[in-house]
Amino acid sequence: MSYYDNILEIDSDLDGNGLCIGIVMSRFNIDVSEGLLGACTTELARLGVQEADIVLITVPGALEIPIALQKLAASDRFDALIALGAVIRGETYHFEVVANESAQGLAAVGREYNIPIANGILTTDDEDQATTRMAEKGRETARVVVEMANLVLALDEMDQSAPA
């Protein structure tokens, strides 16, 4: 008998059928962003998310992603959201500001609207690193968003079925 036999465990669920996903993608470093998007949408399709259930919005850069996510979250139409982009280190402090503020913005929107947001914004030292990582990060972001959307739905069902 396992120590955990009598504990309710919610298993990972990567079935994307029926999920509605919003994606916000930065146009800055567009080649990397589009590489992330291609890998992400291919993986979403493999997991069962239908193209008709995906909405894509593009914004100028990573700092603009949180406001677009906030509008999508407020619509109450989506099960989960994805942020895609690339912040590549330059010679100034701007890299740290953009990387930190965009990540904080994503987390704030997720908490405010109680919606999973998968962070697919790469932060790399150079474009070669970003290009090397974009395909795997795009796929990983799709898997994270589907798993977290299903987890939140399962937890919502538990709340609704709990005795008053």
**Residues annotated catalytic, as ranges:** 94
Angstrom distances, CA of residue 30 to CA of 11, 35, 37, 42, 87: 36, 8, 10, 18, 11
Number of Cβ within a 10 Å radius of residue 7 = 7
Angstrom distances, CA of residue 101 to CA of 64, 98, 105: 10, 5, 6
Q: Minimal CA–CA distance to 59: which of 12, 27, 92?
A: 27
Per DSSP, the three-state class of 156 is: helix
DSSP string, 41-85: HHHHHHTT--GGGEEEEEESSGGGHHHHHHHHHHTT--SEEEEEE
